[in-house]
Amino acid sequence: MSIRLLPSEVASQIAAGEVVERPASVVKELLENALDAGARTVTIRVEGAGQRLIEIADDGCGIPAEELPLAIERHATSKLQEAADLFAVETLGFRGEALASIGSVSTLTVTSRPAEAAVAGRIRVQGGIPGPVEPVGAPAGTVMRVENLFYNVPARLKFLKADATERRQIDALVTRYALAYPQARLHLHQEGRPSLQTSGNGDRREVLAALYGVDVARQMLEVLAEDDMPAEGDSLRGKISIGGFISPPSLTRSNRREIGFFVNGRPVQDSALAAAVLKGYHTLLMVGRYPLAILFIEMPPDAVDVNVHPTKAEVRFRHPERVFSGVQRAVRRALLAHSPVPDLAEQMHWDAAEVSAPLPGGGSLRRMWETETWERTGAEAQASNAEEALPAGGLANFQAPAAPSLPGTPAAILRLVGQIAATYLVAEGPDGLYLIDQHAAHERVLFEKLMAQHDGRMPSQALLVPAVVDLPPAGARLIAEQLPVLANLGFEVEAFGHAAFLVRAVPQLLARMDPAAALRVLVEDFEEDESPLREEIEAKIVARVCKRAAVKAGQILSPEEQRSLLADLEACQSPRTCPHGRPTMIHLSVNMLERQFGRKA
């Protein structure tokens, strides 16, 4: 075949494939156009899961009738004038591609009237072929009607998911925009039924409930932070602000799909941003669990390049490190503001022993943990942990490198009172009574010690007779990849045939356990297709070792053991939760005791 230029309809369809992948992408482009047009109210109607009809009506600025033929042409836009504008885009659109793309794979009817025009204009494009502009009567604003989507691209139709799935995607998309644009009234009707209505009163919490449900919405923590973007040797100035919502450590999902971002009002996917959020949670999350987060990041338009992806779903930051560390800090600060030490509610009865309601003000112990240990960066934390000699680094040890500014340090913050039910330790602290779950606390202590062992090795115990352990394929692959991590933990393991391993030594912590069981525990429920980051795998493996090795509930501890557990817990960076996110302690403040005994109103 000789080389030929493609007919323009074919070229359009190819280009359309990048922008319009499914009904939700049409909704996205048209909704963005309405928001760019300054609409206060946008009404979206979807029928036949978006294949039969998508109609979006707005009360924005409208398109003059004489510009309608241009609006539907490729590379026609009112939002950019010269190439330089590309680096300071302040609108959602700028590529001038959406209407042309949508018009080439559907029947698109645009009806529009700027407020100052007497009549509206209407133009129809079918499969990329435009008709004439006709005058019609219509309210000010724009109505975009997309019918028979993909009627001329059967291949695309085949790739659509079940109707319910496409509808759900549209719901999710519109809800996210509703959250990003709380000042706009958004109404979405699917198959004739209202599926989302926002009031446009600017209240994001209200929209949150539609996104996650009332229960979850109530628990979400607000993020609000502003950081300077100092101009280090370049002209960029201005602030980066980070707002939105994150879940408390107790509210998680098994994947990171619920971590979303809007950058300058534009939804973006960015795994590095997601990683920054996870870092903000530190070791507070149970391994393999991920928070819910929806963050709105605002920065000067020239600090971000939005022109790197056809659907504008990816961006490039001019100063990625500042953005990522800003996000990490903002997340951490929001978690701090929320008190993860569960206090018994002030007004509760002793028998209704539920933990809730953070205590206003908080005890000095908690303040110290929060301000001193939380604000340390990961690197500092690791460094100070590494200095902590095993077995137990005391409080003094811990504070020396990390917090020299701490005023008068007591020898110990928690004074042991005793053990109850062979399960809980009772301690007196600076502001009342602490009940500590010995298993959870020990898990936390072991976890932090093991995670700090990046260079040094854990004490290991050689087996008299090496054990051969067979593993299922996924587990075997994981172990084979993680041999260095295992070695640091004190496992001496080598490949032995196809999916078997020879275990020569195990961590001293697990010496009492059957070596085969010890190895299997590490890979029990890793999913076959899971490819977590290296550090996450390590954290998971370590958390499992800790779970096995920690003292159990029901185990009687000598007073010496109890005291050293308390001291070790105090030395932890995140003493309040176990590596799986459960609380290690419950706090009964003096204030609360006084109320309960009727000493205070």
Q: Which residues bind ligand ADP (CB under 6 A)?
A: 29, 33-34, 37, 58, 60-63, 71, 76-79, 93-100, 142
Pick what 219 binds: ligand ADP, Mg ion, none; C-beta below 5 to 8 Å, kind-dependent: none
Out of ligand ADP, Mg ion, none, which partner does residue 99 contact, by CB within 5 to 8 A per kind? ligand ADP
How far lies 374's CA from each of 277, 303, 384, 393, 514, in Å?
15, 29, 13, 18, 38
Q: Which among Mg ion, ligand ADP, none contacts residue 588 (Cβ within 5 to 8 A by kind)?
A: none
539 binds, among ligand ADP, Mg ion, none (CB under 5 to 8 A by kind): none
The nearer residue to ligand ADP, 72 or 485, going by C-beta atoms, is: 72
**Which of Mg ion, ligand ADP, none is residue 79 near (CB under 5 to 8 Å by kind)?**
ligand ADP
> Pseudo-torsion of CA 115, 117, 118, 124, nearest 10°?
-100
As given in the structure block, the two tokens for residue 233 are 């040797």
> In 57-107, which ranges are continuous DSSP H helix?
68-71, 98-104
CB of 527 to ligand ADP, least distance (A): 40
Neighbouring residues of 223: CB distance < 8 A, sequence distance ≥ 6: 242, 243, 244, 245, 246, 295, 330, 331, 333, 334
Neighbours of 308 (CB within 10 A): 11
Q: Which is closer to Mg ion, CB of 266 or CB of 449?
A: 266
Compute CA distances 72 → 126, 129, 133, whole Å.
11, 10, 12
The radius of gyration of the chain from alpha carbons, rounded to an integer in Å, stands at 30
Partner that binds at residue 184, options Mg ion, ligand ADP, none, CB closer than 5 to 8 Å by kind: none
Could you tell which of Mg ion, ligand ADP, none binds residue 58, using a CB distance below 5 to 8 A set by kind?
ligand ADP
Residue whose beta carbon is closest to ligand ADP: 93
For the CB of residue 581, give the shortest distance to ligand ADP in the complex, in Å: 43
- Closer to ligand ADP by Cβ: residue 36 or 343: 36
In the complex, minimum distance from the CB of residue 223 to ligand ADP, in angstroms, rounded to a whole number: 30
* CB of 195 vs ligand ADP, minimal distance in Å: 21
Tell me: does residue 280 bind Mg ion (CB under 5 A). no
- Rounded to 5 degrees, φ, ψ at 574 are -130, 70
Give the count of beta carbons closer than 10 Å to the beta carbon of residue 455.
7
- Cβ distance to Mg ion smaller for residue 33 or 574: 33
Asked if residue 384 binds Mg ion (CB under 5 A), the reply is: no
Q: Least distance to Mg ion from the beta carbon of 60, Å? A: 12
Contacted by 37, from Mg ion, ligand ADP, none: CB < 5 to 8 Å by type:
ligand ADP
Among 68, 72, 98, 585, binds Mg ion (CB under 5 A): 98
Q: Nearer Cβ to Mg ion, position 12 or 33?
A: 33
Pair of tokens at residue 444: 């936390």
Helix, strand or coil for residue 418? strand
AA identity, residue 37: A
Phi-psi region of 81 (alpha: psi -120 to 50; beta: other; left: phi over 0): alpha
Q: In angstroms, rounded to a whole number, what is the distance separating the alpha carbons of residues 3 and 570?
A: 74
Q: Contact, 166 vs 160, CB < 8 A?
A: yes
Q: Of 12, 13, 33, 175, which lies in the binding site for Mg ion, with binding defined by CB under 5 A?
A: 33
Q: How far is the CB of 37 from ligand ADP (least distance, A)?
A: 3
**Residue numbers at the binding site for Mg ion (CB under 5 A):** 33, 93, 98
